[in-house]
Amino acid sequence: MVFPMNRLPKTIELVALIAILFLLSPLVGLLQRMPWSGLTDLLGSEVVLDAFFLSLLVSFSATLIVLALGTPIAWFLARARFPFLKLLRAVVLLPMVLPPVVGGTALLFAFGRQGFLGKWLDNWFGVTLPFSTTGSVLAAVFVSMPFFVVAVESAFRSINEDFEQVAETLGASPSKIFLRITMPRILPSIIAGLALSWARALGEFGATITFAGNLPGETQTLPLAVFLALETNPEAALALSLVMIVTSLAILIPFRDQWLPGK
Amino acid sequence: MLYLNGSLKHEHFSLKVNFEVARNKTVSILGPNGSGKSTLLKIINGLEKLTSGELKIDTKVMDSGKTFVEPRHRNVGWVPQNQVLFNHLTVKQNVEFSPRSSKEKASELIDLFELTHLQERKAGSCSGGESQRVAIARAIASKPKILLLDEPSTGLDEKSKTIIHRYLKTQREITTLLVTHDPLEAASLSEHLLILENGLITQSGSPNEVKSFPATAYSASLVELNFVTASADGLIATTEKGVELILSEPFKGLVNIVIPPKAIALYREKPAGSPRNVLQAEILEINPIGQNVRVNLEGGINFMAEITQNAFQTLKLRAGDTVWAAFKATELITTME
């Protein structure tokens, strides 16, 4: 038998079924209104294609940056011993619970032209982050990093220090220990963290529209394009939504069980 | 050469030791659980730091008030109690892991520990005994000056135990500290024993010395002898609970008394006359051991008598029975504490 139905209590089955139906209903709503006949034209349109490729560019760039910056943060949170660690962890995880529009506003005050860092970037390097693709990436990094950090920190925590200690007594350097002992052991969690933060980056809307605006071809990613199209061209909004759903599923379906934390 | 004279203080535990291990000798450390055996090894490999004192390997100071050499620069091979293998690497990659190892040395050790047929397998697929052989080979491949083995043969299959013991008996090039629970293993693999209790070395000597003159109740229990501390005044020694023992020579002050279990005879009725110790005691437990039977007794002191199967059957002893235990004063080994 494929489903272990007879081993689950009936009430749990029923509640799970209701929950699944609830999660599926918006999807059904979208598919039922989808303009299937004109879909090819809509999908081939410049707005949709631009938004699609920009979304891939922004979300994957953000995920790479999250990997590079989030791994050391996770390691630090898991291993460092100092009094304000709890506070620091709360600050790192804050973007997870903060309304994205608040995050975007905060980014504007930091990296905007008048922001305390943005002013400096502008004066010294002539770099302007708001309303640019780089700004979109920055916004995506900001909101998606905590998802990665949470997954990887718990992995760093769960590995037994004995392995690293034995490697140390064998004369291995800290970098060799990290690359050959620690990293392979937490790889599943890194992959899980990457998938989660990528998904968050792909769906990012609030911080981006506040900080980076909604410029076609520059900062107009799929979610922003959906938002704009909903006002003017609902059929295009539906087509864009379909693109997002298919892209997300394409990444999440091959996601293997053993990459989930706790496996 | 290993020299350690120092102490370590943690919140709930402290350890203070002073000992030396001559170059290329093996010393065994015996002690009850929680006595600090594993902590002692971690002081030597640098995973614990001395609170005060000094640790030297050969002539080099590794840990003192002024110096602390990081574990990776100490050249101390450590095989912890829980088998710690790099499971995602192969057996061979494990043995070759140390930067101080070489392909030749690793392959020699893989052969020596009979791992040749497993060398391309992932270490995670090894059995307990195989894992321990890999862990020891990996430590030795790092060409250590000191080798620390924490209960290396506990719970292993006979084959692995034999291979490990064969190596330890024949190797003459690494100064080795062996933590063990098994007095027979300690006696067969080392010339010197350290007894560690509660963070202190309570006895240091050859296996023979420990066997003949156990210094504490724990040492005595290792060699299966009874051990009593008492206050002596002339030929009479009185234990804390008021049990009086007759000694064969006069002592004054606190003494340690060893009562060999085989020197104790048991009777149903109180034996008459003769200048010997007679105690009334209750039988707590009965364990047949080969031709003999060990009887655990409580009679103000807790002790064990070892009698023959014949005597046991004649007396029809059962747990809970009250019997008389007798032993000659000349059978006691008495030393000043």
Q: Which two tokens mark A94?
A: 């804050």
| B83 and chain A in contact, CB less than 8 A | no
The reported pLDDT for the residue numbered B149 is 96
| Best residue in B44, B70, B97 for a mutation probing chain A (most A CBs within 10 Å) | B97
Q: What is the pLDDT of residues A148-163, one digit of tens each?
A: 999 999 999 888 889 9
B79-128 pLDDT, tens digit per residue, is 999 889 999 999 999 999 999 999 999 999 999 999 999 999 999 999 99
Q: Which of B162, B182, B215 is at the close of a domain?
A: B215
Q: Pick from B215, B250, B266: which residue ends a domain?
A: B215
pLDDT at A259: 55
Cα R_g (chain A), whole angstroms: 22
B72 touches chain A (CB under 8 A): yes
Taking contacts as CB-CB distances below 8 angstroms, the residues of chain A near B72 are 168-173
Q: Is the domain of B138 the same as that of B254?
A: no
How confident is the model over A38-59, as pLDDT tens digits? 888 888 888 888 899 999 999 9
What are residue A105's DSSP bridge partners? none
The pLDDT value given to residue B201: 96
Residue with tokens 């043995």: B95
Chain B residue numbers touching A180 (CB-CB < 8 A):
86, 89, 97
Q: Are residues B255 and B172 in the same domain?
A: no
How far CA B93 is from CA of A64, B98, B102, B126, in Å, comes to 30, 9, 11, 14
Residues B186 and B307 in one domain: no
DSSP code at position B263:
G
Report the CATH number that the domain containing residue B290 is assigned in CATH: 2.40.50.100
The shortest CB-CB distance from A170 to any of B47, B80, B97 is to B97
Which among B70, B74, B80 has CB closest to A166?
B80
Contact B115, B127 (CB under 8 A): no
**Is B97 in Cβ contact with A172 (below 8 Å)?**
yes
Q: Do B164 and B242 share a domain, yes or no? A: no
Q: How much is the pLDDT for A158?
A: 86
Asked if B77 reaches chain A (Cβ–Cβ under 8 Å), the answer is yes
Statement to judge: residues B135 and B9 lie in one domain: yes
Nearest to A234 by CA among A16, A55, A5, A35: A35
Q: Three-state DSSP class for B229?
A: strand
- Reference B41, options B66, B71, B73, B84; nearest CA is B71
Chain A CA closest to residue B85: A163
Q: Is the ipTM of this complex over 0.85?
A: no
- B206 and B232 assigned to the same domain: no
Amino acid at B35: S
**Does the pLDDT at position A257 exceed 70?**
no
pLDDT category at A15 given cuts 50, 70, 90 is very high
- Sorting pLDDT into bands at 50, 70 and 90, what band is A206? very high
Average pLDDT in chain B: 92
Q: From the list B80, B100, B139, which residue is nearest A162 (CB)?
A: B80
Residue of A nearest to B46 (CA): A169
When pLDDT is averaged across residues A89-115 and rounded to a whole number, the result is 90
Global pTM value: 0.76
> Same structural domain for residues B141 and B16?
yes
pLDDT in tens, B253-282: 999 898 999 999 999 988 887 668 999 999
Using CA atoms, how far apart are residues B207 and B195, in angstroms rounded to an integer? 11
Give tens-digit pLDDT for A228-249.
888 888 888 888 899 888 888 8
Using pLDDT thresholds of 50, 70 and 90, give the confidence band for residue A130: confident
How many Cα atoms sit within 13 Å of A214 on the Cβ side? Answer: 14
Nearest CA in chain A to B72: A171
Give the one of A165, A172, A184 whose C-beta lies nearest to B88's C-beta: A184
Q: Which domain holds residue B92?
A: 2-215
Chain A residues close to B73, C-beta within 8 Å: 171
Domain count, chain B: 2
**Structure confidence at residue A5 (pLDDT):** 54
Cβ atoms of A57 and A138 within 8 Å: the answer is no
Give the residue-averaged pLDDT of A64-88: 91
**Which residues 6+ apart lie within 8 Å of B298 measured at CB?**
B281, B282, B284
Looking at the structure, do residues B10 and B133 belong to the same domain, yes or no?
A: yes
Specify whether B292 is located in the same domain as B194.
no
In the predicted structure, residue A110 carries a pLDDT above the cut 50: yes
pLDDT the model gives residue A253? 80
Strands (E) located in chain B: 2-9, 14-21, 26-30, 52-57, 60-63, 76-79, 146-150, 175-180, 192-197, 200-205, 226-239, 244-259, 265-267, 276-289, 292-298, 302-308, 322-328, 333-336
CATH of the domain at B164: 3.40.50.300
| Nearest chain B CA: its distance from A166 CA (Å) | 7
pLDDT at A263: 40
Report pLDDT digits (tens) over B185-228.
898 899 899 999 999 999 999 988 888 888 898 988 888 888 88
B168/B269 same-domain check: no
pLDDT at B68 over 90: yes
Report yes or no: B39 at the A interface, CB cutoff 8 Å. no
**Chain B positions in Cβ-Cβ contact with residue A176 (cut-off 8 Å):** 99
**Per-position DSSP letters for A123-182, written without gaps between them:** HHH----TTSHHHHHHHHHHHHHHHHHHHHHHHHHHS-HHHHHHHHHTT--HHHHIIIII
Q: Is B119 in the same domain as B183? A: yes
Q: Are residues B63 and B192 in the same domain?
A: yes
Q: What is the pLDDT of residue A1?
A: 46
Which pLDDT score is estimated for A262? 47
Which amino acid is residue B112, in one-letter code? Answer: L
A176 touching B (Cβ < 8 Å): yes
Q: Which of B192, B215, B238 is the last residue of a domain?
A: B215
The torsion defined by the Cα of A26, A27, A30 and A33, in degrees rounded to 10, comes to -100
Lookup: tokens for B176: 């080795």
Residue (of A18, A51, A27, A14) closest to A222 by Cα position: A51
The pLDDT of residue B16: 96
